[in-house]
Amino acid sequence: MAEKLLISGIEVEVQRKKIKNMHLTVRPPDGRVHISVPLYTGNDVIHRFVSGKSNWIQRHADRIRSHPRPSDPEYISGDMLPVWGRLCTLEILYGRTHCVELEGDRLYMTVREASTACQRAGIMTEWYRRQLKAALPELIQKWENIVGVEAGSVRVKNMRTRWGTCNTKEKRLWFNLRLARKLPECLEYVVVHELVHLKEKGHNAVFYGYMDQYLPEWRAIRHGLNHPAGEWDPGIDHGERE
């Protein structure tokens, strides 16, 4: 559980983890400040670090607050939903079974007439999950051959703050089902990122050297993934990180 400190007039959420470095984040939609620190970091060290970043914090908090969060979809006809990086118009049809079909730039969702927005959101989530599961095998095989590694298992789940994770011991890869909303190149970047972790566990010079070798444009793709123009994905923390 995160503790809270007041530093230079700024309320800061502090979370202690088994990590080596401190990570400072300004998070939407209200510009709250969060810092992850190594387990035994003293509060005096945290105070000095955050105080030294006060101008950076204020600048990014102001920027985040100036961009109001779009309203969540109501899952009614006319809603615009992202599919592989493009916005599609949702059309609600009524029937006895639940299903979603994509035709061009239109999404047809068949539901029972009495279904709620929450139920429709769940139907859409499972459709995204199937989309991602169908896209992953070909990409995984392609990049396993290029990187020279082999994943033990590949799974999909809804993650709040990460696009993918890698259990290097079990060689198990997890991918955020919300990647089905993003451009296909974003999914490819995350696949390469997680497979490279099977060669190099940490985010260090060796890891980034591999990324530069296999996917030279990865930084631009990552920026587009984490800072989508005009979009705020409620399932992902697009905070500004120091």
Set out the domains of the chain in order of their start, with CATH numbers.
3-65 (no CATH), 80-241 (3.30.2010.10)
Question: For residue 74, what is the DSSP state?
Answer: -
pLDDT digits (tens, 9 = 90+) for 105-151: 899 999 999 999 999 999 999 999 999 999 999 999 999 999 999 99
- Kindly report which listed range (15-19, 40-44, 133-137, 141-145) carries the lowest average pLDDT score: 15-19
Top-ranked range on mean pLDDT: pick from 20-24, 42-46, 65-69, 134-138: 134-138
Own/partner pairs, 30-34, CB within 8 angstroms, 24+ separation: 30/64, 30/65, 31/60, 31/61, 31/62, 31/64, 31/65, 33/57, 33/61, 34/2, 34/239
3 state DSSP class of 130: helix
pLDDT digits (tens, 9 = 90+) for 158-174: 988 899 999 999 999 99
pLDDT of residue 166: 94
- Kindly report which listed range (68-72, 101-105, 175-179, 200-204) carries the lowest average pLDDT score: 68-72
> Residue 19: which pLDDT band, with cuts at 50, 70 and 90?
confident
pLDDT digits (tens, 9 = 90+) for 116-128: 999 999 999 999 9
- Kindly report which listed range (27-36, 75-84, 218-227) carries the lowest average pLDDT score: 27-36
Indicate the pTM of the whole model: 0.70
pLDDT of residue 236: 37
3 state DSSP class of 83: strand
